[in-house]
Amino acid sequence: SEQIASYTAQIKQLLSANNAVLVAHYYTDPLIQALAEETGGCVSDSLEMARFGKEHPAETLIVAGVKFMGETAKILTPHKRVLMPTLEATCSLDIGCPIDEFSEFCDQHPDRTVVVYANTSAAVKARADWVVTSSIAVDVIDHLDANGEKILWAPDKHLGDYVSRQTGADVLLWDGACIVHEEFKAKGIEDLKLLYPEAAVLVHPESPASVVELADVAGSTSQLINAAKTMDKEQFIVATDQGIFYKMQQLCPDKEFIVAPTAGSGATCRSCANCPWMAMNSLESIVHVLENGGNEIFVDQALGERAMKPLTRMLNFSA
Ligand code: CIZ
Ligand code: SF4
């Protein structure tokens, strides 16, 4: 529409006037993902968002995603200005892992290496030995297990359980979950497979084990996108946030992607599996922060320096 065209034009002009770059997650509005690509920014998972923001020369990063992504960018590049379209966009994993309780849990298990998922606060990262994203979780735990280390994993119990099954490592789990992925149900996917018997099933391992069991490929967003591209299949049932369809469809215009049903939805679903916090990012809010410089992310300096260590391990491990 005219409104969208006008926001887009404004954002392009404001990004270049402010020496700013737009970094967007695969789960954000397709309009934002398209604009990030068009303006030389990036669309990716949280690992590549972190790396891109660190390496890009722009002085200001506009991070479209959820709060931990902006915080990670600020920790890795404290001298840059990091702005977010909204400061209200959090994550059920971050909420479900408050630093005081988490720190106590770690204190109770001093013999364990503390590995936390990127979807956590700066304070939780600062308490950890390692930060991982889902794209490298299995490899990092494999590496630690080979060194004879026992693991304390937080916050996502489904991903932690998946990683432990894949590696055979001794993993103690924190009890957290993603409200989007936890809603996928094995029954719904089995029903959908009757409608699309030829389809491959792609599942993000933040989903329950019964759903992961049905997967032809289980993996991070970037791994699922890669599977969509490389598998010799015409149809895919996809159990992750529907924002991912922008990139899948762009890379595979002739393939069909069907969002897996969540609890309470019908067999096929247009509105389900959409993270409510990711959805708070809009073109309008990006115009707003670029015009006013609001919604800046700050991280306490001492905390940031401690969190930098496990984050740097994450980036170096995957380099
Ligand atoms: O579910 C999320 O928030 C994901 C997949 C984040 C990421 O690692 O890109
Ligand atoms: Fe958090 Fe789940 Fe939303 Fe990702 S999709 S930001 S894990 S609530």
Residues with CB under 6 A from ligand 2: 27, 66, 91-93, 119, 178-180, 206, 241, 275, 277-278
Q: Is 118 annotated as a binding residue?
A: yes
Higher-scoring residue by pLDDT: 318, 76: 76
Work out the average pLDDT over 19-34. 98
Residue 288 has pLDDT above 60, yes or no: yes
User: Facing residues of 213 across strands?
Assistant: none
Quick one: the chain helix, strand, coil %, rounded to 5? Answer: 50, 15, 35
Atom 7 of ligand 2: nearest residue by CA position: 178
Residue 25 has pLDDT above 90, yes or no: yes
Residue 62 has pLDDT above 60, yes or no: yes
Residue 265: the pLDDT is 62
Residue 27: the pLDDT is 98
Q: Which atom of ligand 1 is nearest to the CA of 278?
A: 3
Q: Can you tell me which residue has the tokens 């019908």?
A: 266
Q: Is 106 annotated as a binding residue?
A: no
Tokens of 224: 């699922």
Bridging pattern class, strands 20-25 and 60-64: parallel
Confidence band (pLDDT; 50, 70, 90) for 182? very high
State the burial class of residue 319 (Cβ atoms within 10 Å of its Cβ: 0-12, 13-18, 19+).
Answer: exposed
The predicted model scores a pTM of 0.96
Å from CA of 274 to ligand 2 middle: 9
Residue 262 has pLDDT above 60, yes or no: yes
Out of 180, 183, 238, 280, mutate this one to test ligand 2's pocket (max ligand atoms within 8 Å of CB): namely 180
Residue 318: the pLDDT is 82
Q: Which atom of ligand 2 is nearest to the CA of 181?
A: 2
Confidence band (pLDDT; 50, 70, 90) for 267? low
Tokens of 6: 């006008």
Cβ–Cβ < 8 Å for 52, 44: yes
pLDDT digit string, tens, across residues 209-253:
999 999 999 999 999 999 999 999 999 999 999 999 999 999 999
Work out the average pLDDT over 272-280. 93
Tokens of 60: 């200001």
Q: Cα–Cα–Cα angle for 89, 94, 97, nearest 5°?
A: 155
3-class SS of residue 126: helix
- Tell me, what's the ipTM? 0.96
Residue 270 has pLDDT above 90, yes or no: no
Å from CA of 275 to ligand 2 middle: 6
Q: How far apart are alpha carbons 76 and 9 in whole angstroms?
A: 30
3-class SS of residue 317: helix
* Alpha carbon distance, N-terminus to C-terminus of the chain: 41
Confidence band (pLDDT; 50, 70, 90) for 39? very high
Confidence band (pLDDT; 50, 70, 90) for 271? low
Cβ–Cβ < 8 Å for 117, 143: no
Bridging pattern class, strands 235-239 and 200-203: parallel
Residue 167: the pLDDT is 98
